[in-house]
Amino acid sequence: MSSTNPKTYEPTPARKVAFLGLGVMGYPMAGHLALAGHAVTVYNRTAAKSKAWCEEYAATSGPKHAATPRLAAAGADIVFCCVGNDDDLRSVTLGADGAFAGMQPGAIFVDHTTASADVARELATAAKTLGLQFVDAPVSGGQAGAQNGALTVMCGGEQAAFDNVAPTAAAFSRAFVRLGESGAGQLAKMVNQICIAGLVQGLSEAVAFGMKAGLDMPQVLDVIGKGAAQSWQMDNRGKTMVAGKFDFGFAVDWMRKDLGLVLDEAKRNGARLPVTALVDQFYADVQQMGGQRWDTSSLIKRLG
């Protein structure tokens, strides 16, 4: 996977960093850090992928592969992470081989996983007891945003830790914003996913309606995309939905995981999310159709 799309980096001091998790997001994010001049050590559960990453970025500042999160984190100023869920996050941070055990006092752990606000607070507390700092920093922008170094990052944590990390994170982000204390980043990502769920369902219904009405839907989308109906989803997924193409990154399985976090949090805080709950069940229907790895715009498949 290439992550070398042209990008102009703001000049920042070279730092020693680690990156844990080289999936569709982490792989290019770590690549942008290397291209920005930072010395990057990577860890991935499947070691072959981290070794392949090191080969791809061999021309940068000495990329290295580590066998455990602890070894990857040793001596790093900042440890970045992007894994699957709460349990994956605990597995790479805690325990004898976890990153926290290898980090030097004052080092900062930045978690880009979309996880629960509870685990963000839990790990922030654990880090603090060890003299470490923790920033929850889930991202939006999808695989394309990661590859282009144009992610939006929603952060929670102490101001000093955020200020320390922000110049380095500029390598892969177009917006890197602190929204409050620990957990605030994860809560903001939940807001993001609520918005997306409703937008994609509305766009699915609109496209399906227009196709059944016999309209030239690419032309219709061009027209209404210049008015109040315009959205990122329409601009980037409308015509691919018409074409029946659903291989554009963020998968239905991941969206269901995220919406599960949203609905669990809503039970705790009393928020009423009737549309989100309904769309979550619609995504369950898509999973039953075999669409676990289709992208989220595949909601329209239910309406065919």
Q: What is the residue whose two structure tokens read 């606000």?
A: 117
List the catalytic residue out of 7, 51, 64, 189.
189
Annotated catalytic residue 189 = yes
Q: How far is CA 193 from CA 8, 41, 167, in A?
A: 29, 31, 26
Question: What's the CA gap between 29 and 142, in Å, rounded?
Answer: 11
Tokens of 214: 């016999």
- Residue 98 CA to residue 71 CA, distance in Å, equals 9
Count of helices and strands (H, E) across the chain: 13, 9
Number of C-beta neighbours around residue 117 at 10 A: 23
Could you give the count of Cα atoms lying within 13 Å of 201 in the half-sphere of its Cβ? 17
Residue with tokens 């004898």, as numbered in its chain = 96
Rounded Cα distance, 76 and 168, in Å: 13
Is 176 in contact with 153 (CB distance < 8 Å)?
A: yes
Which of 94, 146, 153, 151 lies closest to 122 in space, CA to CA?
Answer: 94
The alpha carbon of 74 is separated from its chain's Cα centroid by a whole number of angstroms, namely: 24
- Taking alpha carbons only, the member of 69, 34, 37 closest to residue 53 is 34
Positions annotated as catalytic residues are 189
